[in-house]
Amino acid sequence: MMQTRKLGDSGLEVSAIGLGCMSMTSAYGPAADKGEMIRLIRGAHDLGVTHFDTAEAYGPFANEELVGEALEPIRDRVTIATKFGFDIDPATGQRRGGTNSRPAHVKAVADASLKRLRTDRIDLFYQHRVDPDVPIEDVAGAVKELIAEGKVRHFGLSEAGVRTIRRAHAVLPVTALQSEYSLFYRGPEAELLPALEELGIGFVPFSPLGAGFLTGKIDENTKFDSTDFRNMVPRFSPEARKANMVLVELVRSVAERKGATPAQVALAWLLAQKPWIVPIPGTTKVHRLEENLGAVNVALNADDLRQIEESASGLKLEGARLPEAMLKMTGR
């Protein structure tokens, strides 16, 4: 049975595990079959998932269109999260440059996203990346106006740093922060998680399975499709994969003891960190979806968590989580 969680103090209640939809149209190889993905999204809801994550930049536009079509018949039973903040030409779908969170642009993106999503409101509207040229107070102000108009229900930030989060939250309560977090990347633990706890903001980790690495299905010999972004990621170089297998072995040993899979243990570990954490693993395969959602039934007790902590703290993982140019856009 799927459990639910509240994202911080906002009152937004969603399934304990959501579904990240990005990989269905981009980033991890060629786009999957649209009909199959519509069935997978609706099947996820049948299994208890109520939180679906997309963005105008995925595709661009194709992912929102897919999610909108898939969820239209069950719109009132689900939460849709999407994102604004890149400079994308609405006519061609081509990226014109870097970030763009000017208030007029944010409002135009909201209207375009509503059409693609076939809905009259966006449940959670994230700034995809912090825009160094637009004060975050102005961005929060624009979303506040969208909330007043009924077009948006909740405000989120993605890959933002603590200072930006505090400034935004002072203008408009931030419901959720989305960033990468898993046993493979534990950066948020130092500053981010304590700040979110203090402010009552929920946390939505993407890549909770380390972009697939923690499933145990990837090793140094794995070949990725030429369009797969992992080809550019330092921690996915063959050398780094070989060095980092020690972490996979640790997760696998816990999984064997718990009668679970490595993916389920990785997700259960995240769920055990804070009650307001809602991971959004992505997949294009029904059996992986079912496996991921089974993580809510894997209970890691204090001894399990201590063993993972003691073993993991001694590991030195190789390679950065993103290419340098992309890392420069995070944590601002």
Under 8 Å between Cβ of 94 and 56: no
The chain-wide mean pLDDT, for the chain, equals 97
> What are the distances in angstroms from CA 141 to CA 124, 204, 329?
15, 23, 22
Does 130 score more than 90 pLDDT?
yes
For 256, the token pair is: 């064997």
Q: By percentage, how much of the chain surpasses pLDDT 70?
A: 100
Query: Is the pTM value of this prediction over 0.95?
Result: yes
Weakest-pLDDT range from 46-60, 86-100, 107-121, 248-262: 86-100
pLDDT per position as a tens digit, 187-230: 999 999 999 999 999 999 999 999 999 999 999 999 999 999 99
Gap between the Cα atoms of 265 and 247, Å rounded: 12
Residue 97: predicted pLDDT: 81
| pLDDT on residue 58 | 96
- In this structure, what token pair is assigned to residue 243? 């060095």
Buried b (16+ CB within 10 A) or exposed e, 60-97: bbbbbbbbbbbbeeeeeebbbbbbbbbebeeeeeeeee
* pLDDT class of 77 with cuts at 50, 70, 90: very high
Nearest to 287 by CA among 40, 14, 31, 49: 40
Structural domain spans, the chain: 4-211+274-297
pLDDT score recorded for residue 324: 94
Is 58 tagged catalytic? yes
The region of weakest confidence among 6-20, 63-77, 90-104, 142-156 is 90-104
**pLDDT-wise least confident of 28-32, 176-180, 276-280:** 28-32
Q: Choosing from 58, 126, 181, 185, which is the catalytic residue?
A: 58
pLDDT at residue 1 greater than cutoff 90: no
pLDDT above 90 for 26: no
d(CA 32, CA 25): 6
CB 30 within 8 A of CB 23: no
Query: In Å, how far are 69, 103, 154, 234, 330 from 325, measured between CA atoms?
Result: 34, 25, 29, 12, 10
Mean pLDDT, residues 283-308 taken together: 97
Kindly indicate the confidence band of residue 157, based on its pLDDT and cuts at 50, 70 and 90: very high
For residue 303, what pLDDT is reported?
95
Give dist(CA 271, CA 181) in Å, integer.
11
Spatial contact of 19 and 41, defined as CB atoms under 8 Å apart: yes
Give the C-alpha separation, 279 to 273, whole Å. 11
Within 10 angstroms of residue 309's Cβ, the number of other Cβ atoms is 11
CATH architecture type of domain 4-211+274-297: Alpha-Beta Barrel (3.20)
